[in-house]
Amino acid sequence: MPATSELTRFSVSIEADLLSRFLRLAKKHGWTNRSEAIRNMMRDALVREEWSSDEEIVGTITIVYDHHRRELTDRLTNIQHDHHEAVLASTHIHLDHDNCLEMIAVRGTATQVQRIADALIGARGVKHGKLSATTTGKRLR
């Protein structure tokens, strides 16, 4: 069980208009109070820092493609096999007669994961792709 962290209270001076906009954003995201909103935004900034520091991260690469496209599925599979140490799992979904959705879970350095995403998303015949980056959680509470 993780150690309980000690809470620290601090005050912030902020313009009224900026606070109002922030509170509207917090409400839109369903954050129940200011502390929760600030914690979530801090964690997001720390995750972005992990990515820019090329730390070990995790993420998902989501691609949509026409499975009738000649040799595309073989190319996508080969790219994943070329990076087997970073590809954790993949899920293949048939959207309709022609289109497939594939979600690939990856783990590695930010540079390595970005390189894999670029190769998959950039494969000729992929209609759309997106890398969703997150953290292993090791450095967040």
Please write the tens of the pLDDT for every residue from 101-121: 999 999 999 999 999 999 999
Q: What is the pTM of this model?
A: 0.78
> What is the CATH architecture of 16-52?
Orthogonal Bundle (1.10)
Contact 59, 106 (CB under 8 A): yes
Mean pLDDT of 85-112: 96
Confidence of residue 139 (pLDDT cuts 50, 70, 90): confident
High-pLDDT (> 90) share of the chain, %: 56
Q: Name the fold adopted by 56-135.
A: Alpha-Beta Plaits (3.30.70)
pLDDT digits (tens, 9 = 90+) for 24-37: 989 998 988 888 89
pLDDT, residue 2, reads 53
Is the predicted pLDDT of residue 1 greater than 70, yes or no? no
Residue pLDDT, tens place only, 38-81: 888 888 888 888 778 878 889 999 999 999 988 999 999 999 99
- Inform me whether the pLDDT recorded for 136 exceeds 80: yes
Q: Which two tokens stand for residue 110?
A: 């930010």
Burial 11-21 (b: 16+ CB within 10 A, else e): eeeeeeeeeee
Domain ranges of the chain: 16-52, 56-135
- Rounding to the nearest 10 degrees, give the CA dihedral for residues 13, 17, 19, 23: 170
pLDDT at 130: 97
CA-closest candidate to residue 69, choices 39, 102, 99: 99
Dihedral sign from CA coordinates of 63, 67, 72, 75: positive
